[in-house]
Structures are given as C-alpha cells and as structure tokens.
A and B are shown apart, each in its own frame.
Chain A
C-alpha cells in the first residue's frame, strides 16, 4: 500500500478509536493536517478525499480483521 495512504488510514483509525474526547480532538487535528498536506501536493480536494478515505478505511478495517497480517517466521 502507498505509504501516505496508509499513514492517512492509520491516522483516521487512531481518531476513530480514541477513548476520550479531548484526545480524539487532538488526533482529528493530526489527521486533518496530514490530509491537507497531501492535498496541497496532489491538488486533490480535502473534503472529497476525506469522503473516499472514510469508506476505504471501513473496507480496509474489515480486510484487516478477515486477513490479519501473519508475522514472518524467525
């Protein structure tokens, strides 16, 4: 997976999973700044990309649960 895309999905995951509201606000700001940085470079619209990423995140999460990464044998 593209490193930046993975970074965004993980940042959104951290936000969605935050157990407290104050921490959630901080993680949302981190996600939004990462998203805006990428959009500035790529010319994408942050609102549009956020909408696509949210759905992709859900599918990514389901895939992670169905096919968890097996750590390589030593």
Chain B
C-alpha cells in the first residue's frame, strides 16, 4: 500500500484520537484510489473500453475526484491533525483529474494526430485503435 500517513507522534497540541480518526480516513481513501487507478489502468487505458465501461469510469471517477477534493480541504485546514498529508492528497488528486480529462476529452483521434504532426512534422502518427 502507498501509505502517505507518517506514523510518528502527532505534533504538539494535536489530539491523538482525532489524529487517528483523520489518518484512518486518509488511509481508506488511499486504498480506494489505488483500487480505482488499478482498474482504470487495466480496463480503460490498456484496453479499448466499451461505452458502458467509459460511462462507469466517468461516474466512479467523478465521485472519487469529489471525495479527494473534500479530503484535501479537510487535511489542508491549518487546524487539521493530518495536515502533513496535504501534498500527498493534492498530488494524487491532480493525477486523478489529469487522467480523467485525458480519457473524457472529446477530441478525436484525427484532431490529436493533426496537433502532434504540426509539432513533430517528421513524425508518423501513432495509429489509433478507436
């Protein structure tokens, strides 16, 4: 597991029970993100997904992104007992958003190919499977 939560003693002044509560939330969120990203890689990115799978990805992806935004606002609060998790949550949230945009961008393969050819005139296109 990719634990982002350091297990050392809490900073002075932080409540131990609240810190455990907050870090448990972060650990559970990490597990959910790991599972989602594994499925996303295997079933969406590495294969040619069906419309139904893409719709599932849109729905689940939006939910996990919203959950991550909520968690980021929670851990980044100056009073948060888990504020050291802020960079980790923020980095993974950005990664989830970037991958979501890549998958659901309505750009066609032909448009993408034309853009890349403009920037790399000597390049042969990466042939699409869609």
Residues of A near any B CB (own CB < 8 A):
1-2, 4-5, 15-25, 28, 38-39, 42, 44, 48-49, 51-63, 65-66
B116 in complex: contacting residue of A20, A25, A53, A61, CB < 8 Å: A53
Cα distance, A15 to B116, chains bound together (Å)? 19
- Provide the residues of chain B in CB contact with A21, threshold 8 Å: 4, 87-95
B residues contacting the other copy or chain, number (CB 8 A)? 43
Contact between B109 and A61 (Cβ–Cβ < 8 Å)?
no
A38 in complex: contacting residue of B4, B99, B119, CB < 8 Å: B119
The distance from the CB of A62 to the nearest CB of chain B, in whole angstroms, is: 5
- Which 8 residue pairs are nearest across A and B when measured between Cβ atoms? A21-B91, A52-B115, A55-B112, A21-B92, A44-B119, A21-B88, A54-B102, A25-B91
Contact between A63 and B115 (Cβ–Cβ < 8 Å)?
no
A-B contact pairs, 27 of them (CB 8 A): A1-B123, A5-B116, A5-B123, A16-B45, A20-B4, A21-B88, A21-B93, A21-B95, A22-B4, A22-B88, A22-B91, A24-B91, A24-B92, A24-B94, A24-B95, A38-B119, A44-B118, A49-B116, A52-B112, A52-B115, A55-B109, A59-B127, A59-B128, A62-B46, A62-B48, A63-B129, A65-B46
